[in-house]
Amino acid sequence: MMKDEFKIWEIDLESKQSVLLKQHEKLEQEKLLEDLLVQNPTLLMEGLRLVGRQISTDSGVLDLLGVDANGNLVVFELKRERLARDAVAQIIDYWSYLDTLSESDLKELIEHQSGNLSIEKIDLKPIKMALVGLGVDPVAHRMVQSLSERGVEISLLTFHGYEHGDKLLLGRQAEINLKSHDESSLPWKEGQKGLRQNHELKAVELKVEGLWQDAIKSLDFAKSKRFTKSGITWENNKISISNENHLSLQSVNFEGYGEIRVTFFPNAVHLYTQKFQDRDAMEAKIPFKKRPPSNATPTDLVFDEWYCVLNEEKWSKFKDELIKIAKAVDSEWKKLEQKQASEIEESNAAS
């Protein structure tokens, strides 16, 4: 945990006299700190490469965007004073904006910002967050601590500035994902095996073990599945209705005590429009709700994902219909895949 007080003394080795250096509570300009960190990105993180600065978003201007040594995107919010609760809210706002972008839009933003900078590897998502300031107040620290303990990838980088003659000394104190664990156990480092184990523990904790296992087994029709912190997403390879590298179809997530959430993403709804477009008929069978997708890309025709929250009783009641939908979506995807393969073959033959 970060200490409330951080001091530096200059010691004369001969006389053993000490002089307490005066601490700067603020830099004269926020831009001064930003300029300093842009010229020296390793002051933030070892191996960091900056790919964006002063990026316009729907909510304001994002200070810095970088790629860490492991290839992960990191959003930086800089303050020339102590970090307060507003800074935490602000960085989450910027993070959520980037998180809702499709991978193609995110790549375009990075390419536009980074110019000719060559980056060998970038894991576009999940995106990390790092708050940077001259110290942190207790409220902001508590907020970041709570977020970190719930698996949110957020760090605190606090700089302490001290006057030393005509120079400014900077000390950095870093709390990387405040929970006390080593790098190999950080959420974004967990492998598929680790995530599966976490899911099993979470299912037991939420009293949905049997329901969870039955749901993921029953709806597993797609070519591949991806384990996330909150559940499992089924996906297939890229096809023309999406700009994503993967075609996300449906997911099963934890919702709360005794409940799971089954979601069909816009791609799935698009593939099986005939079934989904009659919402009244669909909702008469399954209690679906619609909302803008948080981690999927809308298609040209479908802008929302469809989801339903189910306890064990509701799962038993709607299970067969949900399986039919998942099978139908997979069938429609295979038809489209075959059609595209045939078109490519014909085009190659013609050329």
Q: Which residues, including other chains, have CB under 8 Å from residue 121's CB and lie 6 or more apart? A: 71
User: DSSP for 317-329?
Assistant: HHHHHHHHHHHHH
Averaged over successive runs of 10 residues, the pLDDT of the chain (351 residues) comes to 58 77 59 80 86 83 85 86 88 87 78 51 74 85 81 82 72 62 38 66 84 91 76 72 64 89 89 69 76 78 88 92 89 82 75 65
Peptide bond into 126 cis (omega under 30): yes
Same domain assignment for residues 23 and 171: yes
Same domain assignment for residues 112 and 139: yes
How many angstroms separate the CA atoms of 152 and 126, rounded? 10
SS3 state at 47: coil
Same domain assignment for residues 207 and 339: yes
Same domain assignment for residues 53 and 201: no
Please count the structural domains in the chain: 2
Is residue 70 assigned to a domain? yes
What is the torsion angle, in degrees rounded to the nearest 10, for the CA atoms of residue 72, residue 89, residue 105 and residue 101?
Answer: 100
What is the torsion angle, in degrees rounded to the nearest 10, for the CA atoms of residue 137, residue 138, residue 142 and residue 144?
Answer: 10
C-alpha closest to that of 55 among 74, 36, 29, 32: 74
Locate 129 and state its tokens.
Answer: 């967050």
In this structure, the strands spanning 305-310 and 259-264 are: antiparallel
Locate 222 and state its tokens.
Answer: 């797609």
pLDDT confidence of residue 259: 92
Q: Where are the alpha helices (DSSP H) in 2-70?
A: 30-39
Same domain assignment for residues 213 and 226: yes
Q: Which residues, including other chains, have CB under 8 Å from residue 215's CB and lie 6 or more apart? A: 252, 260, 262, 310, 315, 319
What are the distances in angstroms from CA 14 to CA 9, 20, 92? 15, 17, 50
| Burial of residue 16 (number of CB atoms within 10 Å: 0-12, 13-18, 19+) | exposed
Same domain assignment for residues 123 and 253: no
How many residues in total does the chain contain? 351
Q: How many CB atoms lie under 10 A from the CB of residue 156?
A: 25
Element (H, E) at 66: strand 60-67
Phi then psi dihedrals of residue 258, to 5 deg: 80, 10
Is residue 243 assigned to a domain? yes
Q: What is the pTM of this model?
A: 0.47
Is residue 3 assigned to a domain? no
Domain containing 302 equals 192-344
Is residue 4 assigned to a domain? no
Q: Which residues, including other chains, have CB under 8 Å from residue 226's CB and lie 6 or more apart? A: 232, 233, 234, 235, 246
SS3 state at 186: coil
User: DSSP for 214-279?
Assistant: HHHHHT--SSEEEE-SSEEEEEEE--TT--SSEEEEEEEEEEETTEEEEEE-HHHHHHTHHHHS-H
Is residue 61 assigned to a domain? yes
In this structure, the strands spanning 289-291 and 305-310 are: antiparallel
> Looking at 143, 162, 187, which one is the last position of a domain?
187
Is residue 351 assigned to a domain? no
> Looking at 187, 219, 241, which one is the last position of a domain?
187
Same domain assignment for residues 101 and 224: no
Same domain assignment for residues 199 and 297: yes
Same domain assignment for residues 94 and 228: no
Read off the CATH number of the domain in which 54 is found. Answer: 3.40.1350.10
Is residue 107 assigned to a domain? yes
How many angstroms separate the CA atoms of 20 and 77, rounded? 30
> Looking at 157, 187, 217, which one is the last position of a domain?
187
Read off the CATH number of the domain in which 288 is found. Answer: 3.30.1460
- The DSSP bridge partners found for residue 130 are 76, 155
